[in-house]
């Protein structure tokens, strides 16, 4: 249910969603099986309804690449590639927006990217700024700004997985007015992002939605276990949803994006207005 509501920002009146449904898909992608992974997303969502769905990082390809040729073959041009096309089709069918991670190819460069799409097409492409571990072998560091897109009257920011380790990522989105941060992930360090994202939510007073994957991926003599525990956090740091470590699961919650507008933690302190940027630069 989306209830329209007006509110004031400074002297302007802005139209916003009152309550929206936000969900994530925690899944176990099969390496290299793009069609099967897309079908699995549809199966898991089933008849659940949400205004915004967040899918994991690289949800369509899997994560443990073994060669540049392999990454190149699985990377897609955006928005022309099959995955973005299928996500837009899904958005139309579900009447929803989706934020999802995929390997993107532009010319000779391959990026660990995320797209934000809606029934009307693509809204944003984000290329992961902070590459994790061996991702540096396969991907070019991102060169796109952290995007904020409109979804059902709310402002949704996008960052990918290891971006959580750098508080600047979420802060940059909050300073642009993000109310909800969509965080497609393939987390492998147990319990770390589950804690940092509670802090990112609190220090910026925003909602965060971390969609992680599960399962062991063993390829080319390397094995990674993905840690599940996808979660949704409120601007107070309250945990609104958390999934198990090992099983696929879809969760949807209703939230009011306006709860992110009050940046006060007490009558004296506003987490954005109290910043002292003059002291942050060397
Ligand atoms: C990560 O950035 N996939 C840990």
Question: Measured in angstroms, how far is the CA atom of residue 119 from the centroid of ligand 1?
Answer: 28
pLDDT of residue 9: 46
Matching residue, tokens 């276990």:
225
pLDDT of residue 5: 52
- Cα 88 from Cα 96, distance rounded (Å): 9
Domains of the chain: 6-259 (3.60.110.10)
> Percentage of residues in the chain with pLDDT exceeding 90?
93
> Which atom of ligand 1 sits closest to the CA of residue 128?
2
Average pLDDT over residues 52-63: 98
> Which atom of ligand 1 sits closest to the CA of residue 163?
2
- Cα 40 from Cα 89, distance rounded (Å): 15
Residue list, ligand 1 pocket, CB within 6 Å:
57, 132, 161-162, 186-188
Question: Measured in angstroms, how far is the CA atom of residue 108 from the centroid of ligand 1?
Answer: 23
Q: Which of 14, 4, 88 is nearest to 53 (CA)?
A: 88
Question: Measured in angstroms, how far is the CA atom of residue 193 from the centroid of ligand 1?
Answer: 10
Asked if omega into 144 is within 30° of 0 (cis), the reply is no
Question: Measured in angstroms, how far is the CA atom of residue 188 from the centroid of ligand 1?
Answer: 7
Q: Whose CA is nearest to atom 3 of ligand 1?
A: 186
Is a pLDDT exceeding 70 seen at residue 189? yes
> Which atom of ligand 1 sits closest to the CA of residue 189?
4
> Which atom of ligand 1 sits closest to the CA of residue 186?
3
Is a pLDDT exceeding 60 seen at residue 14? no
**The token pair that represents 272 in the structure block:** 């954005």
Ligand 1 binding pocket mutation candidate from 188, 194, 211, 225 (most atoms within 8 A of CB): 188
pLDDT of residue 18: 62
Task: For 212-232, write each residue's pLDDT tens digit.
Answer: 999 999 999 999 999 999 999
pLDDT of residue 1: 37
Question: Which own/partner contact pairs does 237-243 have at CB distance under 8 Å and 24+ positions apart?
Answer: 237/198, 237/199, 237/201, 237/202, 239/198, 240/207, 241/24, 242/194, 243/24, 243/26, 243/212
pLDDT of residue 6: 52
Q: Which of 133, 116, 109 is nearest to 184 (CA)?
A: 116
Is a pLDDT exceeding 80 seen at residue 8? no
Let me know: does 282 contact 51? Beta carbons within 8 Å: no
- Cα 240 from Cα 8, distance rounded (Å): 27
Question: Measured in angstroms, how far is the CA atom of residue 244 from the centroid of ligand 1?
Answer: 19
- Cα 172 from Cα 145, distance rounded (Å): 9
Alpha helices in 75-115 (DSSP H): 82-94
**Mean pLDDT lowest among 9-23, 150-164, 251-265:** 9-23
pLDDT of residue 112: 98
Query: Could you give phi then psi for residue 47, rounded to 5 degrees?
Result: -100, 10
pLDDT of residue 281: 84
Average pLDDT over residues 133-153: 97
Task: For 93-135, write each residue's pLDDT tens digit.
Answer: 999 999 999 999 999 999 999 999 999 999 999 999 999 999 9
Q: Which of 232, 239, 178 is nearest to 206 (CA)?
A: 178
Let me know: does 181 contact 192? Beta carbons within 8 Å: no
Question: Measured in angstroms, how far is the CA atom of residue 65 from the centroid of ligand 1?
Answer: 13
> What are the residue numbers of the active site?
57, 128, 161
Let me know: does 226 contact 212? Beta carbons within 8 Å: yes
Asked if omega into 79 is within 30° of 0 (cis), the reply is yes
> Which atom of ligand 1 sits closest to the CA of residue 57?
3
Average pLDDT over residues 256-281: 96
Is a pLDDT exceeding 50 seen at residue 238? yes
The pTM of the full predicted model, rounded to 2 decimals, is 0.93
Alpha helices in the chain (DSSP H): 34-45, 68-74, 82-94, 135-138, 167-175, 192-204
**The token pair that represents 262 in the structure block:** 């009050």
């Amino acid at each position: 249910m989306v209830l329209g509501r007006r509110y004031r920002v400074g002297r302007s009146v802005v139209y916003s969603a009152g309550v929206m449904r936000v969900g994530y898909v925690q899944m176990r992608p099969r390496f290299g099986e793009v069609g099967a992974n897309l079908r699995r997303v549809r199966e898991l969502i089933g008849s659940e309804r949400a205004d915004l769905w967040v899918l994991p990082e690289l949800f369509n390809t899997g994560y443990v690449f073994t060669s540049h040729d392999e990454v190149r073959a699985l990377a897609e041009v955006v928005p022309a590639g099959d995955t973005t096309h299928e996500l837009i089709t899904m958005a139309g069918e579900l009447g929803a927006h989706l934020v999802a991670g995929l390997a993107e190819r532009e010319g000779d460069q391959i990026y660990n990217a995320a797209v934000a799409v809606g029934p009307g097409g693509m809204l944003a492409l984000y290329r992961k700024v902070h590459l994790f571990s061996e991702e540096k072998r396969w991907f070019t560091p991102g060169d796109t700004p952290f995007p904020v897109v409109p979804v059902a009257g709310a402002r949704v920011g996008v960052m990918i997985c290891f971006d959580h380790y750098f508080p600047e990522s979420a802060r940059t989105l909050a300073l642009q007015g993000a109310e909800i941060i969509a965080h497609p992930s393939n987390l492998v360090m147990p319990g770390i992002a589950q804690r940092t994202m509670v802090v990112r939510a609190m220090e910026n007073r925003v909602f965060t939605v971390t969609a992680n994957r599960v399962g062991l991926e063993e390829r080319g003599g390397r094995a990674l276990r993905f840690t599940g525990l996808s979660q949704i956090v409120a601007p107070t740091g309250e945990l609104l949803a958390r999934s198990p470590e090992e099983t696929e699961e879809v969760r949807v919650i209703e939230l009011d994006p306006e709860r992110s507008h009050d940046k006060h933690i007490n009558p004296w302190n506003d987490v954005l207005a109290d910043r002292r940027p003059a002291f942050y630069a060397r």
